[in-house]
Amino acid sequence: MKQFPEFTMLRLALQGPVATLWLARPDSRNALNLAMCRELTAACEALDADDTVRVVVVRGEGVAFCAGADLKERQGMSPAEMLARRVEGFTAYAALEALSKPVIAAVHGPAYGSGCEIAASCDFVLATAAAAFKYPEVGWGTVGATQRLPRIVGRRMAKELLFTGRVVDAHEALALGLVNHVYAPEEFEARLGETVERIAAANPLTVSLTKRSIDGGLETTREGAMAVELLAIQENLRHSDWQSAIAGFGKKEGSDATAG
């Protein structure tokens, strides 16, 4: 098992193949500051290097998932310092996206600004009915969330959400595709656990290759995307025990079982 760095803005909990990465500034509603950006990047790199970890869950301590950037930290910054701070945030989001393992955002409360970007950088989002999303960047006189959001909700809706900065409740977020499922608070932990357990039980190589194929394929042409998948299939055939998996599947599901 890899040695993980010490964190002050995050809390890392390991349970078998599941790593839960908690944003741990509850007194500040988990506002994203420079230290948290750097710790997120370091945590993602360490988690990616640990072969025992198969699923990563990102959560927030306290009442909020993440209330956005730490505006107090930004007071008095020069333009150069502000740009450098924004780059650190971009680096943290990219580190989440670059993880070869599935990353699930578990959102139980407000996810505003940077919180939306953290959630969008994960592979998908599970939420409670108390979750809420807001993109306040334009209202702050800055620019942000212009790339992930339109890829999720489309160009026109992204413009509306960014121009107005209105709050999106959990059920609208579900309809827009910002979240995959919305659960009542009392059933959230059980449903989250079921999803994580199912993913953790799958072959980690095929899960990683599937993630890579989806992400890479969406950024190229249809023909290029098929090549991306074919390369993933070839790698999987070389490095996984797919024959045993198929044999076991047939016995469990019956002779009419089919696959791609």
Residues 174 and 63 in one domain: yes
Residue with tokens 């009915």: 129
- Read off the pLDDT of residues 137-192 as tens digits, 9 standing for 90 and up: 999 999 999 999 999 999 999 999 999 999 999 999 999 999 999 999 999 999 99
Residues 36 and 115 in one domain: yes
CATH code, 82: 3.90.226.10
Residue with tokens 């390991």: 14
Please report the pLDDT score of residue 91 as a whole number: 98
Name beta bridge partners: 57: 20, 104
Residues 91 and 147 in one domain: yes
- Domain assignment present for residue 3? The answer is no
- Read off the pLDDT of residues 16-68 as tens digits, 9 standing for 90 and up: 999 999 999 999 999 999 999 999 999 999 999 999 999 999 999 999 999 99
Total number of domains in the chain: 2
- Domain assignment present for residue 260? The answer is no
The CA-atom distances, in angstroms, between 236 and each of 27, 210, 220, 233 are: 45, 10, 21, 5
CB 55 within 8 A of CB 18: yes
- Read off the pLDDT of residues 206-227 as tens digits, 9 standing for 90 and up: 999 899 998 888 888 888 878 7
- Read off the pLDDT of residues 87-100 as tens digits, 9 standing for 90 and up: 999 999 999 999 99
Please report the pLDDT score of residue 256 as a whole number: 46
Residues 42 and 171 in one domain: yes
From the list 175, 171, 150, the residue with the least C-alpha distance to 161 is 150
Q: What is the pTM of this model?
A: 0.90
- Domain assignment present for residue 23? The answer is yes
- Domain assignment present for residue 259? The answer is no
- Domain assignment present for residue 65? The answer is yes
- Domain assignment present for residue 16? The answer is yes
Cα(224)–Cα(213) distance, integer angstroms: 11
Cα(65)–Cα(133) distance, integer angstroms: 10
Q: Which domain holds residue 196?
A: 10-200
Residues 229 and 110 in one domain: no
- Domain assignment present for residue 114? The answer is yes
Residues 131 and 27 in one domain: yes
- Domain assignment present for residue 4? The answer is no
